[in-house]
Amino acid sequence: MKQMILLASMLLFVGCGPTTVDNGVDPPVPVAEAQDDIAEAPKGSGEDTRRQYAAVSFMIPGDWAEQELSAMQASVIESKYTIPHDEGNMEITLTTMGGGAQSNISRWIGQITVEPGEDPKIESKKVGDKDASWVDVRGTFNARVGEDRGPHRDWRLVGIVIPNQPKDFTIKLVGPRQAMADYYEKFLEFLDSAKYGG
C-alpha cells in the first residue's frame, strides 16, 4: 500500500512539470530593440544661401550643415560645415586668417602623414578672378574632426589661400578620399560662386 502511494506521488510530481506542445509553429524570433544612440546624418537648411565674409562671399549649398563653434574656435574660424556623403562626411572650414600662404599650407601639410609617392601637390589656381595658392595632400589625417580625434586613414585635404589685405581668406576641405573624389566637381562649383567686395 505504501509503495502504491509513493508511486502515485511520483507520477503526480512529474505531471506538474512544464509541458511542450508541438503545434507545428516555430517559436517567435527575438527582435533587438531599436537603439537611440545611432548618429543621424547632419542636415543643412535645404536652400542655397549666399554668405558674406570679410572680403568674399560664396553660395553655401543647402545640404551643408553648419557646425556650432566654441568660443575659442569662433575667435579664429568664421564658419565650419559638415558635408554629408555615403563614403563618410567631409568638413569644410572658411576663415579670414593671417600668416601668409606658405605658413598655412605648411600647417595643413603637417596634419597629414603621406604615403611614399604621395607628395603634396602645391599650385596656383583661380578662385573667381583671384590667383589663389592651393595644396592637395593625401594620406592619414591626424587632426580632430568633430568629436573624433583620429587618425583618419586614407583621407584627402584640399587647402586654399586667397590673397587679400590685411588678411588672406582660407578654405580647407578634408574628408575620406573617395568622398572627396566624388564631391570634387561640386566643390569647384562652390568656388566658382566667389564674389569679392562688400
Instruction: CATH number of the domain at 60, please.
Output: 3.40.1000.10
Rounded CA gap, 76 and 89, in Å? 23
Is 2 part of any domain? no
Residue-number span of the structural domain to which 183 is assigned: 49-196
Radius of gyration of the chain (CA): 30
Is 62 part of any domain? yes
CA 175 to chain centre: 7
Is 13 part of any domain? no
Per-residue pLDDT tens over the stretch 98-157:
899 999 999 999 999 998 899 999 999 999 999 999 999 999 999 888 777 879 999 999
The reported pLDDT for the residue numbered 44 is: 75
Is 179 part of any domain? yes
Cell 576641405 -> residue: 173
DSSP three-state, residue 9: helix
Strands (E), the chain: 49-52, 56-60, 65-66, 79-83, 90-97, 112-113, 121-127, 130-141, 152-162, 168-176, 195-196
The neighbour count for residue 31, using CB atoms within 10 Å, is: 6
The reported pLDDT for the residue numbered 179 is: 98
The reported pLDDT for the residue numbered 198 is: 64
What is the count of structural domains for the chain?
1
Per-residue pLDDT tens over the stretch 32-75:
444 444 345 567 778 999 999 988 999 999 999 999 998 988 88
Quote the pTM value. Answer: 0.77
Is 29 part of any domain? no
Is 16 part of any domain? no
